Chain A
C-alpha cells in the first residue's frame, strides 16, 4: 500500500513537472523543469527495476539533453522577444489539445486491455543468456541478441555529428570545434575542471567494465566520460580539437568500426553478428571498451557543436 502510494505520488510529480516543462512561461524555466523531469523519470525507472535505463535516462535524457538545450538557450540572447515565438492560434490549440488527449486516452485504454500476465521475451532471454557471454541480460540484448540495432545506433550518433559539422561556416572548416571558451583563471569552473575529471574518469570506466555482469555499459559509461571531457575542455585543460584532425575522426569511428568488423567476422562462425559462446565475453568486452571511448568523444563533440572559432594569431 505504501509502495503504490509512493508510485502514485512520483507519477503525479512527473506529470506536473512535465507540464511545467512543456508550458512554463519562459524558455529557461522550461529547460530547468525538463532536467528535473528527466531525473524524476530516472527514479521511475528504478521503481520499474530497470537500472540500466535509469542510468541512461539520468546521464543522457536529463543530463546531456539538458546541456544541449541550455547551450542553445545561451545563443538565443540576441533574439528579440517578439521573435522568440509563442503559441499557435487558439482554435488550432484546441484541436491539438483534443487530438493529444484522444491519443493519450487511446493508449491508456489499450494498456488497460493488455494481458496483465504478458511476459514479453523474458523466457527467451533467460533461456539463451548462458550462450550470450555476459550475465547482465540488458547487455546480452544490446551486444548479442540484437547487436545489429546497437551497431546502427552507434552509427546514428556519428551521422548526427557529421550533420552538426555540416552546419559550420565554410570559412570555419578546419578550425577547432565549438565556440571560444573563456575561463577565469582559478575560478570555480577551473577548479572543478581540475578535480572532477579524475573521479568521473574512474566512474565512467567502472560503468563500462561493470556492464557485462551488472548495470552499466558502453553508452552510460561513455556519457560519463563525455561529461568528463566536456568539463575539462570548458575548464581550458585542453583546447578543443580541430574538425579535420585525423586522429579525432579515427577515434569517433573506432568503436563502430570494431563493432562492424566483429559482426562481419561472425560470418566465419556461421553468419553476420554470430559470436561463438567461448569468445563472446572477450569480444563483447572489447567492443564495449572501444565503443564507450568513441561514444564519449562523439557525445562531447555533439555538445561542443560545429567549428566556430576564429583563430587569433599568436
Chain B
C-alpha cells in the first residue's frame, strides 16, 4: 500500500507546486465570478493556461536586484518563504498511507515551527530591499505573523488535548467518530483567522497593503523571485486549508469516496473559502488587526483551552 518515500516526496512536491501555479489562475477566475465579471479567460480553454503564460512571462523578465539592496539576504528571502511552506507539508497526512512524515511525534509543533521560520522570508525581504515601503511591510509582517502564531498555537492546543498527541495521523484517526470542528468550533474559527493572517492573505494582507505601501515587502522584487513569493503565498493557502482539514474536518475520512479524494475535496472547498474571504471583505486597519488578535482571539483561544480541559477532566475515566 505504501509507496516508496522518494515517490511520495516527488509527487507531493509536484502536486503542490502545480496546484499553487494553477491557483493563481483559479483565484482570479473565482474572484471574477463573485464580482460579476470574467477572470482571465483567453489563454487555453477557459483561460486555464493563463498560469503557464504568466510563468513564462515571469521567467523571462529581467531579474533585477536593486543596487541599494543587501544582495545575499535579498536572494535568500524568497527561498526561505517558499521552503518553510513546502517543509510544513511534510507532516500533513493526505491519507493513512500517503504522507511524508505524518507519523512525526511532534508533527503539529513542526508546522508551528515552520510557520515561525516563514516570518523570516517576509521580514528579511523587507529589510534587504532597503526601501521604505518594503521596510514598513516587513515590520508589519513581523508583528502580525508573530502575534497570530501565538493564537494559532493556542487554538490547536484544544485538538491536541482531545487527541493526546501532536502526531498528525493520530489527530485524524481520533476524528473517526466526530470531526473536531464540532467540539472545537472556537478553536477552528481562531485557527482559520490566524491562518489567514499567517499567510498574509486578504483581508489581512497588511504587509503588502497595495494602496498604502505599494506592494509592501516585495516592492523591490521582480522576475521569478517575486514569483516565488507569489507561489509561496498560494502554497501557504493550500497548506492552511490542508491543516484545517487535518485538524478539524476529519482529514481523509469520509463515506463512499476514496480517502485521497475526500482530502482533496475538503481542501479545495476551504481554498475556495479563502478566496471568498478575499472577494468579500475589506482590509482592516493595522491597529484593528492587532486589537482583534490580542483582545478577542487570545481570550477566545484561552477560553477554548480552559473549557476543553475542564470537559476532558470531567469525562476522564477514574
Do A and B interact?
no
